[in-house]
Structure 1
Amino acid sequence: MNVTRFLVVLDADSTLIRNEVIELIADEAGRGAEVAAATEAAMRGEVDFTESLRSRVRALAGVAVTAFDRVVARIEPTPGVRELTAAVHERGGMVGVVSGGFHEVLDAVAPVLGADVWRANRLKASDGALTGEVDGPVVDAAAKAAALAEWAVANGVPLHRTVAIGDGANDLEMIAAAGLGIAFNAKPAVRDAAPIVIGPVDLREVLRLLP
């Protein structure tokens, strides 16, 4: 029987990948700069994440669902991500990704980059276009921490053998809940709170910290 030795959970936008997906989708509506400014404020913890996300998603109303193919084509994996996920698997670990972004993009990106499980928001669509609404509860800071705990329990991994990696204020709860929390490419509030801070935007820096 295969035993999962440890669990590594990464945020998606600006951690697993270099991009903020909501900004790429907003580009399709001609509102990329506006949404980028709002995203920056949310990641710094200056505004409520859930309300900010709903507001930013409203800016996506009318974008054709066919635009997701163009968005996926623009995704830039973070340097070192494939080496990190390969190393986790080689050492008997599991990789999770939990995101305030969207399944419509993450479903295409996460498995290619070596994730075993992932969770994100979903966007409502009607007649082939986005309605500007989130479908279901928002994946916020509490939901990220809950996903880490859920995946750990489901795979028999004690919390002290979990690693959480993120950059934004909505990653703080899972960073605090994990056995090892890492601020990666992070905003000031996250760097101040996390036990470990990695400055270089290269996920190979995490390899030396794996259990």
Structure 2
Amino acid sequence: MFIATIVAAEQLTKQSLMQALPQAHSLEQVHDAVFRLAFAGDPVAARSSLEQFPADVFVRPADAPAPQLLIADMDSTMITVECIDELADYAGVKPQVAEITERAMRGELDFNDSLRARVALLKGLDVEVLARCYEERVRIMEGARTLIRTLKARGARTLLVSGGFTYFAERVAAQIGFDEYRANVLGVGEGRLDGIVAEPILGAEAKRQALLEQGFDQAATVAIGDGANDIPMLQASGLGIAYHGKPKVIAAAGAAVRFGDLTSVLHGLEVPRAEWVE
């Protein structure tokens, strides 16, 4: 038996949902725009059928355990920007860097090589720009604090893993409330970026390993990300969620938030609205 949670972006009717999934045993409206269907059958086919609607769809086993670990990407997932693109703006090379970032996130370029190439373009940037960039450009994604604080209140461990940089990850993790963070280290010499990122790079495989080494039962883990370098981590988790992700990521993930903010994940995990920690 499976539970499908539908978080509607536009008005939906119970009748339309039942028509989309006729094998459903029951349908409950648990919040204004949140519906839950219990069904038996193919969960992948059910998700595909329900995603015809303007809604975020989560399909989980009816006996899925409560999350014990949430692991999340940072850039364009827990914050609204790609930090490296914003740094590149201060360096006057944003178009070049942003193009590489976009291709890497779509899975067209090797992430590690693309990161080395982008960091090289930042060589000579005054290190004080990092603080300026954080203050002027970095904004927490809507729903991020509520998601993390609610799951922590329910006993889950939370880990921020970023292919970006420790300067930003440390501050974002503290601002949102993560238990731990991991990210890449920018090289600095004489007060300026030296164009080098410390090895080994925290890329796709390192994100997957960060999840696995926590030692939790896979079924009790949740991973969230938007780019191709998040796919191994998403697929290694009990529930991998593409958050406004690239098409390749949405196809690889077990669920997708396409319309709402990060609080959609709480609905998908069946956390009652009254128990959210704002």
Give the TM-score normalised by the residue count of structure 1.
0.93
Structure 1 Cα separation of the partners of residues 68 and 99 of structure 2: 36
2:185 is equivalent to residue 122 of structure 1: yes
Q: Where in structure 2 are the equivalents of 1:156-171 lying within 5 Å?
A: 157-171=216-230
Report the alpha carbon displacement of residue 133 of structure 1 after superposing the two structures with TM: 0.4
2:91 is equivalent to residue 32 of structure 1: no
- Flag the structure with higher helix content: 1
Taking CA–CA contacts closer than 8 Å with sequence separation of 6 or more, which of the two structures ends up with the larger relative contact order? 1
1:122 alignment partner AA: V
Larger Rg: 2
Contact 1:72 1:109 in 2 (8 A): no
Aligned pair partner of 1:104 in 160, 167, 180: 167
Structure 1 Cα separation of the partners of residues 222 and 98 of structure 2: 28
Structure-1 residue corresponding to 2:104: 42
Structure-1 residue corresponding to 2:83: 21
Q: Spell out, residue by residue over 1:72-110, the C-alpha distance to the aligned partner (whole angstroms, 9 max, x if none).
A: 112011110011011111211121110110001111121
2:231 is equivalent to residue 172 of structure 1: yes
Aligned pair partner of 1:203 in 252, 259, 262: 262
Structure-2 residue corresponding to 1:185: 244
Aligned pair partner of 2:132 in 64, 70, 95: 70
Contact 1:97 1:119 in 2 (8 A): yes
Structure-1 residue corresponding to 2:154: 91
2:199 is equivalent to residue 136 of structure 1: yes
Contact 1:124 1:132 in 2 (8 A): yes
Unaligned runs of 5+ in 1: none
How well do the aligned residues superpose, as a CA RMSD in angstroms? Answer: 1.3
1:111 alignment partner AA: A
- Flag the structure with higher strand content: 2
Q: How many matched pairs?
A: 204
